[in-house]
């Protein structure tokens, strides 16, 4: 009788252990992801075992601005470097350390992330790589994923998709996404990642796949079930860069197919896209999408007047005034130039 009870005790202990790991991962990282416009994120790099000079820099893009930004590292001591990133939401970024390219996640205001790299004749450089800080587990996830999938995953290299027909193209994307989602689910089950990041990464994968399908289709006739049916208004995806690329293509395609829509010049098309977005999007997704569109016109020097016109149209339609204030500040900066 006692022997029969033992397996149940062991099974119960294992369940409690896995639950404990999951609970810890979900609750130990106290980040509450949000859009913050005025925080700076710092990443420290320590290199050991190899004398300089070293080439250290970073690359990232913000969702609202949309353009790539290079960050040069400052040398703070021998073989020690510091990079500052003006990210305004949770964002993947690339660090380049000598010949290594590393994907990391940045969070507005975080100053805890550091990268330690020890060079040794006996080891590959990445064998000695160590992340420290509140986001270390997530950076390790990116590292492990790159080693497992190599170039064959959605964010790494899309040029591997070579099918000449839409159906074949879509099947390749679906297959790649399934593998990545299965890997993410495995990490979630064992509690290796915080819950907010699991939602973030899942949306990155799903909306990138949906965006690539839409972009490839554009105004073509598509095979049945080719396009992904995802939520257009999805607050859980508001930190995903690919979510907004998907929305741009989704609304543009809706205009092309609309019976009563007769898009004219580019400015008129954008106004019609914003009309659709203002109707279909709510709260955070609405504010971020509208902000992205107006900001992109502002950064296109010849369209500054049009950006002012759009801002006047939507100034009172933001759900959160911080986006309105951000845009207003950018418009005033442009006037002072």
Domain borders along the chain are 41-135
- The answer to whether the beta carbons of residues 226 and 167 sit under 8 Å apart is yes
Q: What is the pTM of this model?
A: 0.85
Which positions ≥6 away from 14 have C-beta within 8 Å? none
The values of phi and psi at residue 40, to 5°, are: -115, 135
According to the model, what pLDDT value does residue 52 have?
72
Q: Are residues 155 and 91 in contact, defined by beta-carbon separation less than 8 angstroms?
A: no
Query: Six-digit token pair at 242?
Result: 């690919």
Q: What is the pLDDT of residue 161?
A: 58
Q: Looking up tokens 């809706």, which residue turns up?
A: 254
Neighbouring CB atoms inside 10 A of 122's CB total: 6
Fold of 41-135: Immunoglobulin-like (2.60.40)
Report the run of H or E that residue 57 belongs to, with start and end.
strand 56-61
From residue 222, give the alpha-carbon distance in Å to each of 125, 216, 240, 251, 284. Answer: 46, 10, 25, 17, 31
Bond prior to 53 in cis (omega within 30° of 0): yes
How far is it, in rounded angstroms, from Cα 65 to Cα 318? Answer: 18
> pLDDT per position in the chain (337 positions), as tens?
445 545 445 444 444 444 444 444 444 445 778 899 888 999 999 998 877 788 999 999 999 988 899 999 999 888 899 999 999 999 999 999 988 899 999 999 999 999 999 887 666 566 688 999 999 999 999 999 998 987 655 655 455 555 578 888 899 899 999 999 999 999 998 888 999 999 999 999 999 999 999 998 887 888 888 999 999 999 999 999 999 999 999 999 888 876 545 545 788 999 999 999 999 999 999 999 999 999 999 887 678 899 999 999 999 999 999 999 999 999 988 776 5
The span from the CA of 317 to the CA of 85, in Å, is 30
| Integer-rounded Cα radius of gyration of the chain | 23
- Provide the pLDDT for residue 219: 77
Residues 32, 34, 40, 42, CA torsion sign: positive
């Amino acid at each position: 009788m006692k022997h029969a009870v033992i397996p149940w005790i062991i099974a119960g202990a294992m369940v409690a252990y896995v639950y404990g790991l999951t609970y810890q991962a979900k609750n130990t990282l106290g980040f509450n992801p949000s859009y913050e416009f005025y925080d700076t994120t710092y990443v420290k790099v320590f290199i050991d075992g190899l004398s300089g000079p070293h080439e250290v820099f970073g690359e990232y893009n913000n969702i609202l601005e949309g353009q790539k930004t290079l960050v040069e590292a400052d040398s703070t001591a021998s073989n020690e470097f510091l990079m500052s990133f003006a990210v305004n939401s949770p964002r993947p970024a690339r660090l380049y350390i000598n010949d290594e390219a590393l994907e990391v996640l940045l969070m507005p205001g975080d100053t805890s992330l550091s990268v330690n790299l020890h060079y040794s004749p006996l080891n590959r450089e990445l064998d000695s790589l160590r992340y420290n800080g509140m986001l270390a587990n997530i950076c390790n996830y990116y590292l492990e994923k790159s080693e497992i999938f190599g170039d064959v995953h959605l964010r790494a290299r899309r040029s591997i998709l070579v099918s000449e027909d839409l159906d074949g193209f879509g099947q390749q994307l679906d297959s790649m996404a399934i593998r990545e989602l299965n890997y993410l689910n495995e990490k979630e089950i064992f509690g290796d990642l915080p819950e907010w990041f699991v939602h973030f990464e899942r949306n990155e994968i799903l909306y990138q796949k949906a965006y690539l399908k839409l972009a490839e289709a554009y105004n073509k006739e598509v095979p049945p079930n080719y396009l992904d049916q995802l939520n257009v208004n999805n607050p859980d995806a508001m930190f995903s860069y690919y979510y907004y690329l998907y929305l741009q293509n989704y609304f543009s395609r809706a205009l092309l197919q609309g019976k009563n829509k007769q898009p004219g010049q580019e400015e008129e098309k954008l106004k019609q896209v914003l009309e659709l977005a203002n109707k279909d999007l709510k709260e955070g997704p609405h504010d971020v999408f509208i902000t992205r569109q107006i900001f992109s016109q502002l950064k296109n020097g010849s369209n500054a007047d049009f950006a002012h016109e759009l801002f006047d149209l939507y100034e009172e339609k933001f759900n959160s005034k911080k986006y309105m204030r951000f845009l207003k500040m950018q418009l005033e900066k442009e006037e002072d130039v």
